[in-house]
Chains A and B, each alone.
Chain A
Amino acid sequence: MRTVEDIEIRFPGSLAEALAWQADEKTRGRPLAGGTDLMVQWESGVAAIPERAVSLWGLKELKGIRETPRGIEIGAMTTHTELRSSPLVREKLPALAAAAATVGGRQIQNRGTIAGNVANASPAGDLAPTLLITDGLATAASASGRRDIPLAKLFTGYRKLDVRADELLVSFTLPALPAGAREKFHKIGTRAAQAISKVMGACRVRVQNGTIVSLAVSLGSVAPVPVRLPELEQWIAGRRVDLNLLEEVERRASAEVHPIDDIRSTATYRKWVSGRLVRALLEA
């Protein structure tokens, strides 16, 4: 009977060393970031206990937030605390900063990381919708090189990512909020703090002279993966914002999602409140 104590946890000195270990099945370990999801899953028996884990927490190469021509680049081991308090993220990716501030409590925010939140690939992961609305990229590295993955294609199924066993997520590159656009994040949780989402969502919208130029909207906890609402986004472009539009948005957003019942909420409530939430995101 294996327990958490049986896991061999290895601490690479560099990203290159970690990638070298991951390249070989014999040395490969479960990537471990802040541990806020994995430790709980291992302890509770929800996730299988691996032979080995590779702790990425101390790797300096995976830290940091900087502005690049392609967008804001965020290292994989950036914590929720760093995201919520970074002036750059708060200004250029305000929905992400807002989402990071709602993850767990302060202790979790000090340990949990952006890559951990994404790699856990839970439909209730609070950061995912705020990443999806940027049309950004995730970068995965392996011993043989690097690969950019559009975020829209990263989440392939329930708790599944398009990342190979020999790869590690190393950074995210997220186009900044363009001039004239705004972003919002809203979470409907089970309580006022320390809540896992029933439904949460984010939007990035550009409105000119009362007309919607473009909309990116994403919801979590309504499908096996975090989703964008392409039908709504396509339909809404070029329309004027008024009460009728908002009512139609509510109806369409609700129609476009197919959530399920679980311990936190019901399919019918989620479907209804998805429409309400998207409408609230669009209301100024």
Chain B
Amino acid sequence: MPATVQTRDPRWVGQGIPRVDAEDKVRGRAQYVDDLLVPNGWHGHVVRAPVPHGLLRGLTPDPAFDWSRVVVVTAKDIPGPNCIVSHDRSMPVIASDEFLYAGEPVALIAAPTLRLAREAAEHLRIDFEERPAILTLHEVADQFKHNDPALVKLCGQTIRKGDAEAALARAHKVVEAEYTAGHQEQLYIEPQGLVAEPTGDGGVFIYGSMQCPYFIVHELCEALALPPEKIRVKQAAVGGAFGGKEEFPTWLAGYVALLALKAKRPVKIVYDRHQDILYTTKRHPVWSRYRTGLNRDGTIAAIAVDFLLDGGAYLTLSDVVMYRGILHAAMGYRCDHVFVNGLVARTNTVPSGAFRGFGAPQAIWGLESHVDAMAAAAGMTPHEFRLKNCLVQGDTTPTGQVLKWSVGSPAVLEKSLERCRFDEQWKKCSRGKPGAKSWYGIGVSFFAHGAAFTGDGEARIKARAAMDLDWLAPGRPGGIVRVSSTEMGQGALTVLSQLAADGLGLDLSRVSCPFPDTALVPNSGPTVASRTTMVVGSCVYGAAGKLKKALEQFAGKPIASGKEFDEIASAYLNKHGRLRVEHLFVLPPGTQWDQKTFRGDSYPGYSWGCNVAEVEVDPRTLGIRVKKITAFYDIGKVVNPVLAKGQIEGGLVQALGYSVMEKIGIDRKGRFDASRMQTYIIPTMQDIPEMDLDFVEFPFDHAPPGAKGVGELPMDGLAPAIANAIEAATGLRMRDLPITPEKLYEHSQKNLGR
């Protein structure tokens, strides 16, 4: 076999190799931000607004306190415009004249000890005039329903296909319902933490726990009045993120950077769990209203959706969360008449933010609950209805995108239904039968998840990856992956190493994938949107292939073995020094997208999934036990099946918490009420059900070697599958997450009245 062909044979892709960072983490060698020694470092502390909305009149330092021992930063100390450059410029780094949520920073303090910093904060009086506040999704949903002009819209967007209102008017049956879900906390193991150090050239070096190093550079350079190259950002080991370390670390970076620049020394802030829950972003609460029309033959005539997210106090990146939400709110089913009306409303709470799924789980929660309602109205079982109406290759999505390639539907649906014998089990459901010792129910959900950035995102960011040919160790040449994608527990470094090794056609030992440092890596975009393996991985694979080709040109012959690579690469490095090659992500040919009308190809490809949940409800207490989850996923080419399954298992547990446990409200002071792990209830090992997970591979040919996204997918469909199963078990349709025994009881009492 010719050597050039052999190198294109995947050797590492498809193998469930152990994580390349596993040993460091298991042995405790990995350095998280709070493990790092910061010589001469001070601790930072944030002084926060005491009520959810107010006009800031001033800050009065207590003259009895010795202020010479600490450094205080207020909005006046910000060298540039007081804003974080996110999707708009509305959010200040530190509130100056008005604050919009309880806990919004009004001042920053650094001191040699954390205790002194906190003590100083107690001696700083905040003078303010309290203003009225809107605190809950419930309030804004009411405003929306009643066209109340008091509703503050942060942004809006619609999707139109055909004429949904006319089709509803003609429909044989109309099915209407509302669905809601509250906040969800990411609850990564490692809380938020960053260090900033002034650099000699007037710049700043920021390092610590984060997902998106380049976000910090771009979002802070205006406020710090520094050119991007003077803000260097480096990721330390990260103990989980789930979206919680996407945009939030920029805020924290602002605090430590301002303090470090004023104190002229390193400053560190690491939140404790309580602060982390109180003052960082969470999943957007959602209210959605579905009005759908059915034809006589059980096909869908129209889908009209209102999709309202509680954005919290500022826009941040809520517009794109809502975009992903509306793009998934009517996705997955054949329908010629669709109208989706998305908007984000302001409440006086911590800005809602990125969390695994990014709006899609909120949309799919409503949609897949509602599909069961449509099936019932059509006189069909939930699985028959889905099999009849699901999108397949050649069909058109709500934005008019034709599904031309890599369509794992109906495969995931058919396989899941078959694996769990859905049809048989469906007939055994208890439906609240009196006198039973236990109520059994089974429920299904089916969904697509747009892989990579929404809409024009990938076209705008133009993601790049680089491969450096360099010495890994003296006498040992190899390829170094240079991307801004981060390892946060999901296995990115391993998967990117596998792709780099296959691109080079070499053993894994000749590849290295270090933590990103903006001084050394190109911008391959943030580590979000299930895009890393698909988009950045494909760039790494492409760059590695180019690197190999360059070496082959240099040598004038193909490289057939590791030994040959070592010889040729050493000769190259000795003669020319380091070699960098880059590869750019290119959208599939013919991709069209209109960001104004939301018509066209909203994502380059879709992953597909199906979840079946089997539940037992205790008729004595209405306690809910999820007993088993059966799930099939099409994530394209599976690069590392062990890590992919790990992602799915972990994500399903997170989705289980969202479905039946994780309840967090706003207290009278406008703060999150379940603000400790004592009160914010997540699943334990004892709560985790049996899982039967598998893949069907429909590779995505436009991003070799064909992976699509996986990271967010497990969060998408479990909640509606559980709600559908709970209805099958109890006869009660629950439309608000999380579904708790308390809500089941309340609902059962209402039903008794009928």
Chain A residues within 8 Å of B, Cβ to Cβ: 1, 3, 40, 44, 188, 190-196, 263-266, 268-269, 272-273, 276-277, 279-280
Please, which residues of chain A bring their CB within 8 A of the CB of B625?
192
- Decide yes or no whether B674 CB sits under 8 A from chain A: yes
Interface set, chain B 672-688, CB cutoff 8 A to A: 673-674, 676, 678-679, 681, 683-687
Q: Is the CB of B661 within 8 A of A191?
A: yes
Known interface pairs A40-B678, A193-B685; 16 further A-B residue pairs with C-beta atoms within 8 A, sorted by A's residue number: A1-B115, A1-B119, A3-B115, A44-B274, A191-B687, A192-B684, A192-B687, A193-B684, A193-B686, A194-B684, A263-B679, A266-B746, A268-B749, A269-B746, A272-B745, A279-B620
Q: Is the CB of B687 within 8 A of A193?
A: yes
Q: A279 to B686, alpha carbons, bound, how many Å?
A: 26
Q: Is the CB of A191 within 8 A of B679?
A: no
Map CB proximity to A onto B538-582 as digits: 1 under 8 Å, 0 otherwise.
000000000000000000000000000000000000000000000
The distance from the CB of A271 to the nearest CB of chain B, in whole angstroms, is 10
- Decide yes or no whether B742 CB sits under 8 A from chain A: yes
Please, which residues of chain A bring their CB within 8 A of the CB of B746?
266, 268-269
Please, which residues of chain B bring their CB within 8 A of the CB of A273?
621-622, 741, 745
Q: What are 21 contact pairs spanning A and B, CB under 8 A?
A: A3-B115, A191-B661, A191-B684, A193-B684, A193-B687, A194-B684, A195-B681, A196-B678, A263-B673, A263-B674, A263-B679, A264-B679, A266-B742, A266-B746, A268-B742, A268-B745, A268-B749, A269-B746, A272-B745, A273-B621, A276-B621
Q: Is the CB of B681 within 8 A of A190?
A: yes
Q: A265 to B663, alpha carbons, bound, how many Å?
A: 11
Please, which residues of chain B bring their CB within 8 A of the CB of A279?
620
Q: Is the CB of A191 within 8 A of B122?
A: no
Q: A44 to B676, alpha carbons, bound, how many Å?
A: 9
Name the CB-closest residue of A to B749: A268
Q: A265 to B118, alpha carbons, bound, how many Å?
A: 34
The distance from the CB of A43 to the nearest CB of chain B, in whole angstroms, is 9
Q: Is the CB of A191 within 8 A of B681?
A: yes
Name the CB-closest residue of A to B682: A191
Please, which residues of chain B bring their CB within 8 A of the CB of A196?
678
* Cβ-neighbour of B122 out of A1, A3, A194, A276 (below 8 A): A1
Interface set, chain B 51-101, CB cutoff 8 A to A: none
Please, which residues of chain A bring their CB within 8 A of the CB of B622?
273
Q: A269 to B746, alpha carbons, bound, how many Å?
A: 8
Q: Is the CB of A280 within 8 A of B274?
A: no
Interface set, chain B 697-754, CB cutoff 8 A to A: 741-742, 745-746, 749
Q: Is the CB of B686 within 8 A of A192?
A: yes
Name the CB-closest residue of B to A276: B620
Please, which residues of chain B bring their CB within 8 A of the CB of A269?
741-742, 745-746
The distance from the CB of B660 to the nearest CB of chain A, in whole angstroms, is 9
Q: A276 to B744, alpha carbons, bound, how many Å?
A: 15
Q: Is the CB of A277 within 8 A of B679?
A: no
Q: A191 to B742, alpha carbons, bound, how many Å?
A: 13
- Decide yes or no whether B623 CB sits under 8 A from chain A: yes
Q: A279 to B618, alpha carbons, bound, how many Å?
A: 14
Q: A206 to B685, alpha carbons, bound, how many Å?
A: 37
Please, which residues of chain B bring their CB within 8 A of the CB of A192?
625, 684, 686-687
Q: A193 to B661, alpha carbons, bound, how many Å?
A: 13
Between A and B, how many residue pairs show CB distances below 8 Å? 56
Q: A279 to B661, alpha carbons, bound, how many Å?
A: 26
Q: A276 to B687, alpha carbons, bound, how many Å?
A: 23
Q: A162 to B746, alpha carbons, bound, how many Å?
A: 38
Q: A188 to B622, alpha carbons, bound, how many Å?
A: 10
Please, which residues of chain A bring their CB within 8 A of the CB of B684?
191-194
The distance from the CB of A181 to the nearest CB of chain B, in whole angstroms, is 23
Please, which residues of chain A bring their CB within 8 A of the CB of B687?
191-193
Please, which residues of chain B bring their CB within 8 A of the CB of A195?
681
Q: A191 to B625, alpha carbons, bound, how many Å?
A: 9
Q: A7 to B21, alpha carbons, bound, how many Å?
A: 41
Q: A1 to B120, alpha carbons, bound, how many Å?
A: 10
Please, which residues of chain A bring their CB within 8 A of the CB of B681?
190-191, 195
Q: Is the CB of A190 within 8 A of B742?
A: no
Q: A194 to B682, alpha carbons, bound, how many Å?
A: 10
Q: A273 to B687, alpha carbons, bound, how many Å?
A: 21
Please, which residues of chain A bring their CB within 8 A of the CB of B741?
188, 269, 273
* Cβ-neighbour of A188 out of B623, B676, B683 (below 8 A): B623
Interface set, chain B 645-680, CB cutoff 8 A to A: 661, 673-674, 676, 678-679
Q: A190 to B122, alpha carbons, bound, how many Å?
A: 36
Q: Which 5 pairs show the lowest CB-CB distances between chains A and B? A: A192-B686, A193-B686, A269-B742, A193-B684, A192-B687
Please, which residues of chain B bring their CB within 8 A of the CB of A280?
620
Q: Which of B683, B685, B745 has the most chain A CB within a 10 Å cutoff?
A: B745
Q: A193 to B686, alpha carbons, bound, how many Å?
A: 6
Name the CB-closest residue of A to B620: A276
Q: Is the CB of A190 within 8 A of B745?
A: no
Q: A268 to B676, alpha carbons, bound, how many Å?
A: 25
Name the CB-closest residue of A to B120: A1
The distance from the CB of A9 to the nearest CB of chain B, in whole angstroms, is 19
Q: A272 to B115, alpha carbons, bound, how many Å?
A: 47
Q: A188 to B687, alpha carbons, bound, how many Å?
A: 14
The distance from the CB of B168 to the nearest CB of chain A, in whole angstroms, is 37
Q: Is the CB of A1 within 8 A of B661?
A: no
Please, which residues of chain B bring their CB within 8 A of the CB of A190?
661, 681
Q: A3 to B272, alpha carbons, bound, how many Å?
A: 15
Q: Which of B674, B683, B741 has the most chain A CB within a 10 Å cutoff?
A: B741
Name the CB-closest residue of A to B680: A263
Name the CB-closest residue of B to A5: B115
Please, which residues of chain A bring their CB within 8 A of the CB of B676?
44
Please, which residues of chain B bring their CB within 8 A of the CB of A265?
742
Please, which residues of chain A bring their CB within 8 A of the CB of B673?
263
Name the CB-closest residue of B to A279: B620
The distance from the CB of A198 to the nearest CB of chain B, in whole angstroms, is 8
Name the CB-closest residue of A to B114: A3
Please, which residues of chain B bring their CB within 8 A of the CB of A40?
678
The distance from the CB of B117 to the nearest CB of chain A, in whole angstroms, is 10
Please, which residues of chain B bring their CB within 8 A of the CB of A277?
620-621
Q: A280 to B676, alpha carbons, bound, how many Å?
A: 32
Name the CB-closest residue of A to B122: A1
Q: Which of A40, A190, A263 has the most chain B CB within a 10 Å cutoff?
A: A263
Q: A221 to B625, alpha carbons, bound, how many Å?
A: 22
Name the CB-closest residue of A to B744: A269
Please, which residues of chain A bring their CB within 8 A of the CB of B623?
188
Q: A191 to B119, alpha carbons, bound, how many Å?
A: 38
Name the CB-closest residue of A to B674: A263
Name the CB-closest residue of A to B688: A192
Name the CB-closest residue of A to B660: A191
Q: A164 to B745, alpha carbons, bound, how many Å?
A: 42
Please, which residues of chain B bring their CB within 8 A of the CB of A1?
115, 118-119, 122
The distance from the CB of B475 to the nearest CB of chain A, in whole angstroms, is 48
Q: A1-B118, A40-B678 are in contact. Are A191 and B745 (CB under 8 A)?
A: no
Name the CB-closest residue of A to B683: A191
Please, which residues of chain A bring their CB within 8 A of the CB of B661?
190-191
Interface set, chain B 594-651, CB cutoff 8 A to A: 620-623, 625
